[in-house]
Copies of this chain bind each other. A is one copy, B any other.
């Protein structure tokens, strides 16, 4: 039966995101989502606690960051570890899904609740990177600075990538952001 299929979670998510884009986040109800996905209400609540969780349910980025930092060679410079990780993330998780990311971003921008949750996600990533580099033995200021740079570079590159209609890959926006930030620091002091 459909509700036991391994893709139920993904099906619910696809249905929900389509409805959010069509009708707006507020106007979409859980009954709408289950009707579109063809599953029962109970199935919905086996996978998600509410529709906000459907929207943000798969934020594995902090966990991915933690793993990448843990497994990077000990001698590798912190920003090398971070930029390597961000480039892989871009190629694997963002560049192939620009349309979905853009649709999600539009829904977030209209919904104060989702914007707050989105900010908390950035903060979760910052904490994961900071803790990861502390565990590698970096001092507190370094760990916090690397974490701040990670969020700054990812966030800025995502924003310019999503506004760029040319289809330039996110990886190029990451590199351009790092260059710009470096240049600003070099000329500003």
Chain A positions within 8 Å of B, measured between CB atoms, are 77-80, 82-83, 115-116, 119-120, 122-123, 140-142, 144-146, 148-149, 151-152, 155-156, 159-160, 163, 176-178, 180-182, 184-189
Contacts and interface: CB of A to CB of B under 8 A. Distances in A.
16 contacts: A77-B187, A77-B188, A78-B184, A79-B184, A79-B187, A83-B188, A115-B123, A140-B163, A141-B160, A141-B176, A145-B156, A145-B184, A152-B152, A182-B185, A182-B189, A185-B185
Q: Give the copy number.
A: 2
Contacts of A115: 120, 123
B144 A148 contact: no
Q: Which of A78, A159, A185 has the most CB of B within 10 A?
A: A185
A188 B79 contact: yes
A110 to B, nearest CB: 16
The binding surface of chain A is classed by DSSP as helix
A75 to B, nearest CB: 12
Contacts of A79: 184-185, 187-189
Given A119-B119, A188-B83, A152 B141 contact: no
A138 B141 CA distance: 30
B188 A160 contact: no
Contacts of A119: 116, 119-120, 122-123
Contacts of A186: 182
B189 A80 contact: yes
Contacts of A144: 156, 159-160
